[in-house]
Amino acid sequence: MLHQIIKENTHAAHQKAEGIIVRRLKNIRTYQNYAEVLKLFYAYFKAVEMAVAPFITTAVLPDIDERRNSSYLKKDIESLGYWSEELPTLDAPIVTNVVEALASLYVLEGSIMGGPYIVKMLNNSGITQGTTFFEGYGEKSEYMWTIFTNTLNEYGKEVKTHARAVEIAIETFHKFGEAFSAPRDVSVSQ
């Protein structure tokens, strides 16, 4: 099953990106800091969504419009009273087919599973608003993940697509971590 192959072969990239992002989250002390971090998530998710959009249609993933996406991040930023039209330019992997797009989306969809831990970490830092993005699908998270991985496995049946799918997932993790490690102007305004 392709989702297991991706999971096993992206472990190091996943851990590295997660470490970078969690360190950034742990440094949040104010709602302004939080809004700046949300802005990075928003810019990256939006970049990946634009890259996969030509391939991930409702014919491929019927519930795509019900899935967590960058619009949740925008709403969270705005709910905190912040906004900036200026997003940093972040690169997403270049995908050329459905399997590659699903492999990239695997990283974003998989991040849902860590959302409850992020909400708890934020709450412990005094951040209690603007967390709908990290709340994911709530009690439906496991169900939504299963639907996604079943779709990935269905489209990734051909073994010849696996190596490239793993490469795309690794690149997605790498660029995700890079978005949070490189110095960027992420100032927000009220």
Look up residue 26 and give its two tokens.
């742990």
Among 59-63, 85-89, 105-109, 174-178, the least confident range? 85-89
SS3 state of residue 162: helix
For tokens 């169900």, name the residue: 143
Residue 114: the pLDDT is 86
- Average pLDDT value for the chain: 94
Q: What are phi and psi of 92, to 5 degrees?
A: -110, 155
Look up residue 147 and give its two tokens.
């639907």
**b/e string for 140-160 if b means 16 or more Cβ within 10 A?**
ebeebbebbbebbeebbeeee
How sure is the predictor about 47, in pLDDT bands with cuts at 50, 70 and 90?
very high
For residue 144, what are the contacts with CB-CB under 8 A and spacing of at least 6? 63, 67, 109, 112, 136, 137
DSSP 65: G
* For the chain, domain boundaries: 2-181
190 has pLDDT over 90:
no
189 has pLDDT over 90:
no
> Under CATH, what is the fold of the domain 2-181?
Heme Oxygenase; Chain A (1.20.910)
Give me the helix-helix angle, 31-52 and 162-181, nearest 10°: 150
CA distances from 12 to 17, 18, 75, 131, 171 (A): 9, 10, 32, 27, 12
Among 58-67, 110-119, 122-131, the least confident range? 110-119
CA angle (69 as vertex; 177, 136 as ends), nearest 5:
85
Amino acid (one-letter) located at 8: E
**Contact 29/121 with Cβ under 8 angstroms?**
no
CA distances from 35 to 1, 32, 41, 151 (A): 38, 5, 10, 33
Please give the model's pTM, rounded to 2 decimal places: 0.94
**What is the percent of the chain with per-residue pLDDT over 70, rounded to a whole number?**
98
For residue 115, what are the contacts with CB-CB under 8 A and spacing of at least 6? 133, 134, 135, 136, 141
For residue 95, what are the contacts with CB-CB under 8 A and spacing of at least 6? 51, 52, 55, 101, 103, 104, 168
Q: What's the pLDDT tens digit per position in 134-152? A: 998 989 999 999 999 999 9
Residue range 153-178: mean pLDDT, rounded:
98
